[in-house]
Structure 1
């Protein structure tokens, strides 16, 4: 009986965290909210990362915006680029573990850009997400992190 109560309490706290209805309670712009809803039927919004005020190096190069997060082993995540309709520039998301590139929205072999990528996490740990503007023009951009439900 005590075990059943523990499970029930756990579900009460965990279920709301994964409901798509949580998006309406977040402080998201309309574009980001629409983008999060279009990440796929199997994707559940977790967080957004906005590329804010651009920073430049001494020689005028744009510094990528960096976000650090903890991802859990055996979970499939989806990273999606979300741009303002008025922004025509190029955006690349790159996910790194300590030093290795784990996923990106740009394939250098083909030169093709993708709206997002899935990442099957094989090791719980700290990961770094970079939002880059390869053409040097910053804009209103966000990266959407979603949990991908597996059946």
Structure 2
């Protein structure tokens, strides 16, 4: 499980250092093979290869073929393989960085089976306020906390 918020930087070559606490898990789980793609939010989604492949199988199994094709075009069409190098970094493709405007300061946010990589300014805009100021989320948390 990937969790937590990590303020990082994407260097001028588009490299992102994966936090050390996740590298061992990723080495064991997927031999450090990741997939970077876009999703519904203005951030990059970073998946261990087996999780990405599972989602692709789920998309292929969808009954609504038009919806499956549309999802595949975005999720798979924009996907790029990434491998963690000896310094613990991955290279983010320029096209994907431009798509979500990641240049410099970024926030890596654990999302259970994946990471979301946000431009820091966008992350602050969306998540900078306390959760109790967001009534919908506060209500959702109350419904699961028993």
| TM-score > 0.5, shorter chain as reference | no
**Which protein is bigger by CA-based radius of gyration?**
1
Q: TM-score range by the shorter chain?
A: under 0.3
* Larger strand proportion of the pair: 1
TM superposition score normalised by structure 1: 0.27
TM superposition score normalised by structure 2: 0.27
* Larger helix proportion of the pair: 2
